[in-house]
Amino acid sequence: MGNISVFCFAASYTVALMLELSRLFFRSGIRGVLLISFACAGLLAQTLFVIARLSHESGRDTLDWYLLVAWILAAIYLYLIFYHPKVPLGIFLLPLVLTLIAFAEYLPEESGYPMGKSAWGMVHGFSLLLGTVVIFFGFIGGVSYLMQSRRLQKKRAPVRFRLPSLEWTEKITARCIVVAAILLATGVLSGIALNAREGEVPWSDPVVLSSGFLLLWLTVAMLFNAVYRPSRQGRKVAYLTLVSAVFLLLVLAVTRLVPSAHPTREMPLDEISHIESVKGAKPRGVYS
């Protein structure tokens, strides 16, 4: 990655975060304009960077997973400051965006996600990408709900720090669980179809197992919400989104730390051959 380009949008998001945090201390008539300006500048710079990155690496069919998740979350943030300018959700969103950008910058060899040239490969990659975004956004909604609930219980409502209503966050977090389950199911099933075309589905692969476990959890949480009415109460839904985010982080940790033939990064052929030979399988190539 070009350090200057990354610095441009990372610095813009950092300034926007500082402006969001300033809501805790003082009022300002121009803060809203500054927030929109820096958020737009950061998103524009990141968009141009992503386009250049994809164009440069089109031959490898590789996408920077963390950078794309950060880009989508930044776009959501820009939407929110336009339509909900008094709600400082950037305090929760922007640190996550900056963390993902840091991962994409300092873990370059592990940040690529091969999409493949087939339709199944595109469906697989983008479904998992969007599912990741939805889980992270649900996590932010869950944290916001718990903070607002605690504040109302203690009858503390500072004017300078306005959080979304409990009804809004309850609705958002509940929908995030459903949407994330659908997207993850699409990603997992398309991955199975992609491997089945090559004659083998690596059921015992750590990445496949951990992704399946996350899908199982989201499915159970979705059905639990639909069938058991008391579980629809906001606090319980918020906890479900928090646990879902923890499971997602575990899945991402597995993809980074546990040896796997699943192409979460561009791997040399000899490395894939070694992993496959340990499992007694025939090497399938660089990408699924």
Q: Is pLDDT larger for residue 20 or for residue 25?
A: 20
Instruction: Quote the mean pLDDT of the chain.
Output: 75
Angstrom distance (rounded) from CA 278 to CA 280: 5
Helix (H) or strand (E) holding 63: strand 62-64
Q: How confident is the model at residue 175 (pLDDT cuts 50, 70, 90)?
A: confident
1-18 core/surface letters (b: 16 or more CB in 10 A; e: else):
eeeeebebbbebbbbbbe
Q: Which of 59-68, 104-113, 268-277 has the lowest mean pLDDT?
A: 268-277
* pLDDT score for 78: 92
pLDDT at 207 over 50: yes
For CA atoms 196, 114, 286, 250, give the dihedral sign.
Answer: negative
Query: What is the phi-psi region of residue 114: left when phi exceeds 0, alpha when psi lies from -120 to 50, beta otherwise?
Result: beta
pTM for this one?
A: 0.77
